[in-house]
């Protein structure tokens, strides 16, 4: 049985700065960490649309402090989730080393959905609930070739039907994620059953018609204008 990854543990280790700014005063850094913790807790249950006003109120700070620390929502999302997204990229890299391509694909998607189940906000970010940030686009650019290689190997060994593509795999991710979000409050493990059903359907599907265009993958994840 593979180990479960605890998003809270990953969050405690997150101290990412993409560009080294001048050191914050101790009270300013304390406020920044308080806002990050509060935003994480709210977005884990309510998703990415939590207003800045609600975050500042719950943290007990003013709106001025909120905007000084995170002038744009993307600044906040990058600070909150960059380490978590690196963890998901690590899952893809680990899966790519599986000798059994189908086992690698199944393991990767289950691990990714497990970490999304612990934070609605992270799931929305990875599944294109909002226009993708540069952070998420870079993540997909790194993961897509790894997943595509696994899919190609699975097709060659007869574990997936001819014509299966990364867009098909992404569709499974988005569909199961939708079940996860809908049932999170009353059946939080239902997504696992949905994943089993969806993967079985993909593995034994009789795919007809032309494969999806290359642009479909980006549009599924809201990386391109529709």
Domains of the chain, earliest start first: 7-74 (1.10.357.10), 85-220 (1.10.357)
Give Cβ neighbours of residue 132 (< 8 Å, ≥ 6 apart): 125, 140, 221, 222, 223
**Structure tokens belonging to residue 34:** 């308080």
pLDDT of residue 112: 96
pLDDT of residue 182: 94
pLDDT value, residue 214? 76
Nearest alpha-carbon partner for 160 in 91, 106, 94, 117:
106
* Confidence (pLDDT) at 221: 79
Whose structure tokens read 């098909």? 168
Residues 6+ away with beta carbon under 8 Å from 49: none
Per-residue pLDDT of the chain (226 residues; tens, 9 = 90+): 455 555 555 545 444 444 555 555 677 788 899 999 999 999 999 999 999 999 999 999 999 999 999 999 989 998 999 889 999 999 999 999 999 999 999 999 999 999 999 999 999 998 876 655 788 888 888 999 999 999 999 999 999 999 999 999 999 999 999 999 999 999 999 999 999 999 999 999 998 878 887 788 777 777 654 4
Q: Any residues with CB less than 8 A from the CB of 162 and at least 6 apart, and which?
A: 155, 207
Closest CA to 129 of 183, 184, 173: 173
User: What is the reported pLDDT for 21?
Assistant: 55
Structure tokens at 67: 């905007």
């Amino acid at each position: 049985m593979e180990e479960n990854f605890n998003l809270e543990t990953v969050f405690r280790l997150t101290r990412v700065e993409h560009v080294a700014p001048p050191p914050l005063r101790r009270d300013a850094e304390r406020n920044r960490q308080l806002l990050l913790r509060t935003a994480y807790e709210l977005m884990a249950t309510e998703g990415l649309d939590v207003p800045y006003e609600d975050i500042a109120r719950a943290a007990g700070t003013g709106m001025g402090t909120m905007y000084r620390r995170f002038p744009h929502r993307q600044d906040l999302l990058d600070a909150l989730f960059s380490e978590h997204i690196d963890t998901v990229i690590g899952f893809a890299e680990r899966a790519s080393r599986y000798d059994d391509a189908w086992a690698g694909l199944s393991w990767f998607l289950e691990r990714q959905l497990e970490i999304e189940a612990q934070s609605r906000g992270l799931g929305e970010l990875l599944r294109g609930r909002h226009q993708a940030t540069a952070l998420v686009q870079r993540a997909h650019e790194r993961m897509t070739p790894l997943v595509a290689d696994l899919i190609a190997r699975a097709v060659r060994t007869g574990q997936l039907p001819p014509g299966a593509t990364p867009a098909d795999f992404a569709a499974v991710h988005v569909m199961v994620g939708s079940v996860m979000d809908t049932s999170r409050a009353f059946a939080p493990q239902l997504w696992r059953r949905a994943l089993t059903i969806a993967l079985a359907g993909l593995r034994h599907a009789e795919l007809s018609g032309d494969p999806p265009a290359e642009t479909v993958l980006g549009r599924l994840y809201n990386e391109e204008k529709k």
